[in-house]
Amino acid sequence: MTSVKVAILGFGTVGEGIFNILQEKREQFKTQLGIDLDVAKILVRDATKQRVGIANTLLTESIDEVLAVPNLDVVFEAIVGEEPAYGYLDKAIEHHVNVVTANKVMFAKFGQVLQEKAQKYGVQVGYEATTAGGVPVIKTMENILRVNDVNHVQGILNGTSNYILTQMRTEGISFETALKNAQQLGYAEADPYNDVSGQDAFKKLMILSNLAFGQQPNWDDVEVVGISAITLQQVQEADAKGQRYRHIAEVGLDEDGYIFAKIGPQLVDATHPLYSIDGVDNAVSLDTNYIGKLTLVGPGAGMYPTASVMVEDYADMLVKKPALVTI
């Protein structure tokens, strides 16, 4: 049996989901993979806060304490914002620890640097959960890009915005009430500014841009508009005309090969491929040279869609490069 020590950074919606899945799947991993996954540390902002079902000895506020765990093989990062997340993952890589992140704000800016550093240190970086929640767009793109070129990416990349627009239309409730519901369901960030301003979708689009085109547009040149100015009356008037508001992000290459991107609400009718995408679902359409158009749809936020793809990222790493410690 191989023993693998695991740490989780953040114990909010996503961090708790990772912990629960690792507990639920522990026996299955032992029998199927011969691996015992043991959560050895959980880093939070406030380690004195009581967490149901979590021993106090597991909690810490110190990344050095996390990285001092003997035989630590992976850090799952589910905290918020660029720092201290980037610094923590940078340090983890220097300690030859694999990293898996859900943090798109951090990864849009530092993803490439972390991936290059990980290569140098012989560890892996998983980032499926940064973009489109449980929709496996990163792995799909990595796979098809071995043969296909992607020349345009278009999608709904923020679950909260899509959920709010859907609730306003189907339940006739205000933007504010729909946002509160999205927060209670764990879709919206604790500070929902990025969700409703379009910044969250923008960061995800930049991650896809890196993957599809090996570059990002100049961030200052990208028009980013959110959904916060859309009223219930506008949603209802559109609905009466057979139209729906969708928050759409797109990036592509123009005919001169220059990269362009834009993010904002659009009114679409029933002929548009994103018309039927409701609730917390995200959708990503990829225009490719050989496959043609490929569209992926699924839950774009929430505890288990997000946490499960993070654990899958790590399971993939184990398959590619089995952990070293045998007991």
Chain residues that interact with ligand HSE, rule: CB under 6 A: 133, 158-160, 187-189, 195, 200, 300-301
Query: Which of ligand HSE, ligand NAP, none has residue 10 at its interface (CB below 5 to 8 Å by kind)?
Result: ligand NAP
Phi-psi region of 219 (alpha: psi -120 to 50; beta: other; left: phi over 0): alpha
204 is known as an active-site residue? yes
**Candidates 41, 104, 203, 204; catalytic one:** 204
> What letter does residue 219 receive in the DSSP assignment?
G
Mask of contacts with ligand NAP, 223-262, x by CB under 6 A? ----------------------------------------
Asked if 136 interacts with ligand NAP (CB under 6 A), we say no
Q: Of ligand HSE, ligand NAP, none, which one does residue 195 interact with (CB within 5 to 8 Å by kind)?
A: ligand HSE
Residue nearest to ligand NAP as judged by C-beta position: 12
As a whole number of angstroms, the distance between CA 143 and CA 131 comes to 16
| 302 and 186 Cβ atoms separated by less than 8 Å | yes
- Closest approach of ligand HSE to the CB of residue 221, in Å: 24
Question: Which does residue 158 touch among ligand HSE, ligand NAP, none (CB within 5 to 8 A, set by kind)?
Answer: ligand HSE
Q: Which residues within the stretch 184-213 sit at the binding site for ligand NAP (CB under 6 A)? A: 186-187, 189-190
Q: How many CA atoms lie within 13 A of 268 on its CB side?
A: 19
Question: By C-alpha distance, which of 293, 302, 305 is closest to 252?
Answer: 293
Task: Tell me the C-alpha distance between 220 and 63, whole Å.
Answer: 33
Q: Do the bridges between strand 259-269 and strand 243-253 make them parallel or antiparallel, or are there none, so unpaired?
A: antiparallel
- The residues in 266-305 that bind ligand NAP, with binding defined as CB under 6 A, are 301-302
Helix pair angle (175-184, 159-171), 10° resolution? 130
What is the total count of residues that contact ligand NAP (CB under 6 A)? 27
Instruction: Tell me the catalytic residues.
Output: 204
